Amino acid sequence: MTGELSPIDKAKFVAAKRAADFVEDGMRVGLGTGSTAAWLVRCLGEMVRDEGLKIKGVPTSTRTAELARDVGIDVISLDEARWLDLTIDGADEFDGDLNLIKGGGGALLQEKIVATASDQMVVIADIGKEVETLGNFPLPVEVIPFGWQTTQALIEETLISMDVLGRSATLRMNGDTPFITDEGNHILDLHLNRIGNARQLALVINQMPGVVENGLFIDICDTVVIGYGDGRVELR
Ligand code: 5RP
Over its length of 236 residues, how does the chain's per-residue pLDDT go in tens digits?
677 899 999 999 999 999 999 999 999 999 999 999 999 999 999 999 999 999 999 999 999 999 999 999 999 999 999 999 999 999 999 999 999 999 999 999 999 999 999 999 999 999 999 999 999 999 999 999 999 999 999 999 998 888 777 778 999 999 999 999 999 999 999 999 999 999 999 999 999 999 999 999 999 999 999 999 999 999 99
Cα torsion 209, 210, 215, 221: sign: positive
Is 92 annotated as contributing to ligand binding?
Answer: yes
Kindly give the distance from the C-alpha atom of residue 108 to the centroid of ligand 1, in angstroms, as a whole number. 9
Q: Tell whether ipTM is more than 0.95.
A: yes
Is 102 annotated as contributing to ligand binding?
Answer: yes
Work out the number of other CB atoms within 10 angstroms of the CB of residue 144: 15
